[in-house]
Structure 1
Amino acid sequence: MTNGFLKRAALAAMLATSSLVPAVVAHAADEAAPGAKIIVTYKDDIATLDPAIGYDWQNWSMINAMFSRLIDYPAGTSELKPSLAESYTVSDDGKTYTFKLRDGVKFTNGRPLVASDVKYSIERTVNPKTQSPGAGFYHSISGYDAMTSGKADSLDGVKVVDDHTVEFTLTQPDATFLNDLALNFASIVPKEAVDAAGGDFGKKPVGSGAFILKEWTVGQRLVFEKNPDYFVKDRPRIDGYTVEIGQEPLVALLRLQKGEVDIAGDGIPPAKYLEMKKSKDFEGMIVDRQQLETSYVTLNTQVKPFDNVKVRQAVNMAINKDRIIRIINGRAVPANQVLPPLMAGYDKDYKGYAYDVEKAKALLAEAGLKDGFSTELYTSNTDPQPRIAQAIQQDLAAIGVKAEIKALANPNVIAAGGTQGQAAMVWSGGLGWIADFPDPSDFYGPILSCSSAVAGGWNWSWYCNKDMEPRAQAADALPLPAKATERNAEWGKIFTEIQEKDAPWIPVFNERRVVAKSKRMGGEDQIYIDPTRVIDYDAIYVKK
């Protein structure tokens, strides 16, 4: 047994974003104030805090901070390290992973965490009754197919050796399996708390992470307090935080300027961005970073007329992406494919669908729709998303497509996208895909694979190409770093072929992430726009 395979996978993941993620630098003069609490604002309420279900940038950070996983990323990095696991080994063939659990870890209900909790938590995520959008990440565990098809109620590839040892057996090597175990979906939860919640665990969460949910007044606030029994030394660095709900982004920024708010969670609206960038009053309050992100329009391949590839190709050609980027003050570059430019596997030679209104009209005519058609376009109701949706609406109108805009709160957009047949088109802006981990496979499994085309999933195109599935699985099995070049090239081909032949998306832009924080908040930028959790609540702090 050796952990060499694991180290290679972790190193490859780290190198994939080495230009994106600087090392965390400690500043002796920037010490954390003891006992500090902070205020964070959002316009929309949180949908859920259940780690098996929550999957948007808004709740991801909070869930991450409430729960623990076998493997995790130290603050501000993409380097995998043990967390709940004290140590681990990986077999030479890369198919057996054995984890030794850390002693003394307790859930916030007081019960010790044991290996059977690990097995239960992974099986809960995979179980189709849970409707977890992350189930597909664990496809390589032996017994996955049997469980997801309803033929088994457990995973034979997850074995409890004893209270402090758990073993995973995979059907094939999976270079990203350790990354998968660092995702929120692999957070360890106590079965008795899930059962006691009676289907409402997302509102009554119990974990073993840095924070505990003490209050949730729907539509008003969530209050989190420091977990005094958290097993990571010197974390968290604040005693708690309150998330205030219902704050318009512009109002939140005014309150932030007055010192009443510490993090404006919805970011900086374009109307305010240039003013803040130029004003000395906001110096040191803007965090602006590149990210592995693509914003796109999903086209529901299961409903008419988007079940016709010519229609999907036509609407791709109808969108003026440069004009849309001007709406957000140029804080993005045009996207022509699923993968963002900084991701390994990105095909620099692929041009995608050029903006061509006449050719788009011709394709619609070939599809028997020369007079166009009517449809619906779902979007988040937080600025600037409705304005971007209006720009898309205008572009579509130029080719005869009449799109009614449905501007809803984020949880409602997510629900519509994850309901088969409901949302014909979804503008993902504000909910655009940010990499869970720095590997191209993360832009396939959870959002384009057959296993993610399920109720509650994030494959809002409901796209399933069964001929592509074995190619994706084979690419996943190529070991890192030995086959990195071959692996990245194959993933690049998969994504460009999907877009060229099937066009389930309209890739619109790759956006920079911008966050506004108060001047009293300390720390490096990456803990406010973290590569794996958006805001790292474990590591943020108030300056002394």
Structure 2
Amino acid sequence: MNRKTLVLPAVVGLLTPVLAACGGSDSGGKSGDAIVVGTTDRFTASSDAPAPFDPAYTYDSGWNVLRQVVQTLMVQPRGGGDPEPEAAEDCHFTDKGNERYACKLRKGLQFSNGDPLTAADVKFSIDRAIAINDDSGVAGLLSTVDTVETQGDNEVIFHLKTADATFPFKLSTPVAGILNSKQYEKKKLREGFQVDGSGPYTMQAEVKNNEVTKITFTKNPHYKGLLTPKNDKAVMESFSDAAAMSTALDKGDIDVMARTLTPDQINELQNNTTGNVNLVEMPGLGIRYLGFKTDAPTVKNKAVRQAMAQLIDRDELVSKVYGSQAQSLYSLVPATITGHSNSFFNKYGNPSVDQARTLLAQANITTPVKMTLHYTTDHYGAATAKEFEVLKKQLNDSGLFDVSIEGTAWDKFRPAELKGQYDVFGMGWFPDFPDADNFLSPFFGKDNFLNLPYANSEIRNTLIPQSQREADRLTASKSIADIQDKIAEDVPILPLWQGKQYIAARDDVMGSEYAMSTSSDLQLWELSRGVSG
């Protein structure tokens, strides 16, 4: 098949998905009529992370499960844009100050077990997430909620502490998922791997050694909402690495290969334009960065963090590890988002050993500065290890640092990071919604999801509230730019790169170009079986 381009309605500032026909075998998926999707995301339960699929807890790849099962009042439409009513039939601010938000529910909503879904369930779910306030930081998305009021069975009113023009987006995230109070306790997480809701699917997990191996999603006959599931059943299968996932695609054991393909796999698929597997390139807002425990002795002096910002060569890093699949990033806010500013480039310019040496000397820092960079081995793809090798070499070649690197599996890495056990660590961020606020507030607001000790009162108490007040996001750009400039000065976080996202799908699978949102969440309801071309 020849290379082909699919033209979709444009999304401001984002790329149009491109499909390239690639090599593969002729067999289809081997799970009957179900669409089988492979992923390298791993879902484990442990004493540190006992509730991987509870909306009040999970704040990472677990959202790929919750979005299929748990319904929200609002939903982000395919391709991006402002959120639209989902479990609600209408939602809007009722005041000029963006502090009172009212939603009217669709009629006849039911949970998957047939129980009626009412405004009381919405209130229960939001109040529950706020009350549990888990260390994962996901409740921070609801930090502007003061009280939740119900009027009858079908109307919910949110009274906000401060103006929050981004609140409709937040109601589209899984932490605002609507739960049945008969199945979830008000102040306790639901441990294990079962999820119940009113979304387009029900789910059943297969578990081995406290780790999910496969999840079967079955169309929910009680679902009423904006989405239109295009299949009756979908399966998510978890693989130990991208190579095993690719082998399964070649053998026809799976139909779709999602997060996360390696750069080498993407290059191979791009260069092979014959066969019956399509590589889909989609708009992506995922970013990677280094985080700092700013009260740790090794990096407490901001001159150390500034020197690292001055030394790291993003262009070389991207070129050696990711090639055309990523681009250098000089702010936490991606280049395609309204309000983006190249604050780190404006502050530090091109990499310079001499300028980094001057920064350290002026602060009386003894060199070489010894430290360990920590990264997760199994959460962001196999290329992460190579990325940290490049970072290590760049810093050590300057003679100003003595860096070692250490990789840890995600189920141990994330709890250790939250407990402050790492002075310097690598993380990724897939946004909850496509707005600059979501690349700033979760990091620098109260109860930030990284549990960073860094706290800038002007950012937290003035600039973030100012930006959230503005319904016109262009008007909010001044406050957003000021936040980015202060982060470049203090370097509590060091942005590295912004990536594209890819899915590989067999030719008889339809809808793969919509199967992942711009926030990198799977949308299994978009997939269907078609005719191989």
* TM-score tier after normalising by the smaller chain length: 0.7 to 0.9
User: CA-atom RMSD, angstroms?
Assistant: 2.7
CA distance in 1, matches of 2:336, 2:226: 33
CA distance in 1, matches of 2:39, 2:438: 27
Residue-by-residue CA offset, 1:472-523 (whole Å, 9 max, x unaligned):
3432343323xx4331122112112221x21112211111112222222112
Match of 1:504 in 2: 492
Match of 1:269 in 2: 262
Q: 1:535 aligns with which of 522, 525, 533?
A: 522
Match of 1:295 in 2: 288
State the SS of the aligned residue for 1:385. helix
**1:520 matched to 2:508:** yes
- Counterpart AA for 2:79: G
**Alpha-carbon distance change, 36 to 168 in structure 1, aligned in 2, over 3 angstroms:** same
Residue-by-residue CA offset, 1:414-464 (whole Å, 9 max, x unaligned):
223222x21212222xxx223322221111111222331xxxx235x4421
Unpaired runs of at least 5, structure 2: 1-8, 18-31, 45-51
**Alpha-carbon distance change, 407 to 19 in structure 1, aligned in 2, over 3 angstroms:** same
**1:396 matched to 2:403:** no
Residue-by-residue CA offset, 1:251-292 (whole Å, 9 max, x unaligned):
312321332212223332122322221112456511112322
CA distance in 2, matches of 1:96, 1:233: 24
**1:492 matched to 2:481:** yes
**1:38 matched to 2:35:** yes
**Alpha-carbon distance change, 224 to 301 in structure 1, aligned in 2, over 3 angstroms:** same
Does the CA contact (< 8 Å) of 2:200 and 2:227 recur in 1? no
**1:458 matched to 2:446:** no
Match of 1:86 in 2: 89
**Alpha-carbon distance change, 194 to 132 in structure 1, aligned in 2, over 3 angstroms:** farther
Does the CA contact (< 8 Å) of 1:16 and 1:344 recur in 2? no
CA distance in 1, matches of 2:139, 2:476: 23
Residue-by-residue CA offset, 1:354-394 (whole Å, 9 max, x unaligned):
31123223333444432323322222213100110111112
Which shows bigger deviation, 282-291 or 384-393? 282-291
Residue-by-residue CA offset, 1:31-50 (whole Å, 9 max, x unaligned):
xxxx8312222335224122
Match of 1:334 in 2: 328
CA distance in 2, matches of 1:329, 1:342: 19
Match of 1:60 in 2: 63
CA distance in 1, matches of 2:271, 2:92: 52
Q: 1:369 aligns with which of 359, 365, 377?
A: 365
- Counterpart AA for 1:337: S
**Alpha-carbon distance change, 129 to 505 in structure 1, aligned in 2, over 3 angstroms:** closer
Deviating beyond 4 angstroms after TM superposition, the runs of 4 or more aligned structure 1 residues are: none
**Alpha-carbon distance change, 403 to 282 in structure 1, aligned in 2, over 3 angstroms:** farther
- Counterpart AA for 1:434: F
**1:436 matched to 2:454:** no
Does the CA contact (< 8 Å) of 2:78 and 2:517 recur in 1? yes
**Alpha-carbon distance change, 124 to 424 in structure 1, aligned in 2, over 3 angstroms:** same
Does the CA contact (< 8 Å) of 1:219 and 1:246 recur in 2? no
**Alpha-carbon distance change, 169 to 305 in structure 1, aligned in 2, over 3 angstroms:** same
**Alpha-carbon distance change, 337 to 215 in structure 1, aligned in 2, over 3 angstroms:** closer
CA distance in 2, matches of 1:63, 1:356: 45
CA distance in 1, matches of 2:225, 2:69: 13
CA distance in 1, matches of 2:153, 2:382: 49
Q: How does 1:284-433 map to 2 (within 5 A)?
A: 285-326=278-319, 327-348=321-342, 351-353=346-348, 354-381=350-377, 382-398=381-397, 399-419=399-419, 421-428=420-427, 432-433=428-429
Residue-by-residue CA offset, 1:93-140 (whole Å, 9 max, x unaligned):
232222222222222233211112111211222225533522222232
Q: 2:172 aligns with which of 166, 182, 186?
A: 182
Match of 1:10 in 2: none
**1:249 matched to 2:248:** no
**Alpha-carbon distance change, 523 to 129 in structure 1, aligned in 2, over 3 angstroms:** closer
CA distance in 1, matches of 2:74, 2:212: 33
- Counterpart AA for 1:341: A
**Alpha-carbon distance change, 408 to 487 in structure 1, aligned in 2, over 3 angstroms:** same
Which shows bigger deviation, 351-360 or 60-69? 351-360
**Alpha-carbon distance change, 265 to 284 in structure 1, aligned in 2, over 3 angstroms:** closer
Does the CA contact (< 8 Å) of 2:201 and 2:218 recur in 1? yes
Does the CA contact (< 8 Å) of 1:44 and 1:245 recur in 2? yes
- Counterpart AA for 2:130: V
Q: 1:279 aligns with which of 266, 272, 275?
A: 272
Does the CA contact (< 8 Å) of 2:467 and 2:477 recur in 1? no
Q: TM-score, normalised by structure 2?
A: 0.85
Does the CA contact (< 8 Å) of 1:530 and 1:536 recur in 2? yes
State the SS of the aligned residue for 2:183. helix
